[in-house]
Structure 1
């Protein structure tokens, strides 16, 4: 499983979220919503401190990660976090591995 953050998405996170040392941006599965691969679940994100990261990506001292506890949601897929300029928010694409 890979976690990819596009440059446009990374700029949005840098602009919109404030992190203190030791924190990162966590992606997780949450109840309600829909993704291209899950009905009834959507991708959540939060500023948090990693405990047991399954996968992590560092870009310009900014940490992005998925915890081991959320492997069930992302298993079998790479997650690409991109930016939707019309909605001014991140968008999430799942690519089967």
Structure 2
């Protein structure tokens, strides 16, 4: 399992979440919403400190990660993070590794 963050997504994080060097962003499973890989759950993200990360990717000086407790949600899929420019929000794509 890996995380891929597009340049547009990095810009979105900088503008919308005001991330800066040294920040850490967690992707996590949340109850409710919809997802193509887990019915009844959706993907959330927040600034957080890694505890037991199962996967990480550093873009510039910002660390993006998924905790071991949320690994089940991805079911062996890689996470691709981009921007939906029509909605001006993050767009997630999941591809089986």
Check conservation: 2:28, 2:67, Cα contact below 8 A.
yes
Check conservation: 1:23, 1:50, Cα contact below 8 A.
no
Mapping for residues 1-97 of structure 1, pairs under 5 Å? 1-19=1-19, 23-97=23-97
- TM superposition outliers: structure 1 runs of 4+ over 3 Å: 18-23
> Once the two structures are superposed, what CA deviation does each residue of 1:14-35 show, in whole Å capped at 9, x if it has no partner?
1111347754110011111111
Separation in 1, partners of 2:22, 2:61: 10
Alignment coverage as a number of residue pairs: 97
Structure 1 length-normalised TM: 0.92
Moved more, 70-79 or 11-20: 11-20
Moved more, 22-31 or 39-48: 22-31
> Once the two structures are superposed, what CA deviation does each residue of 1:35-88 show, in whole Å capped at 9, x if it has no partner?
111211000001111111111111110111100110111131000011111111
Q: What 5-or-longer segments of structure 1 have no aligned partner? A: none
Q: What 5-or-longer segments of structure 2 have no aligned partner? A: none
Structure with the higher strand share, 1 or 2? 1
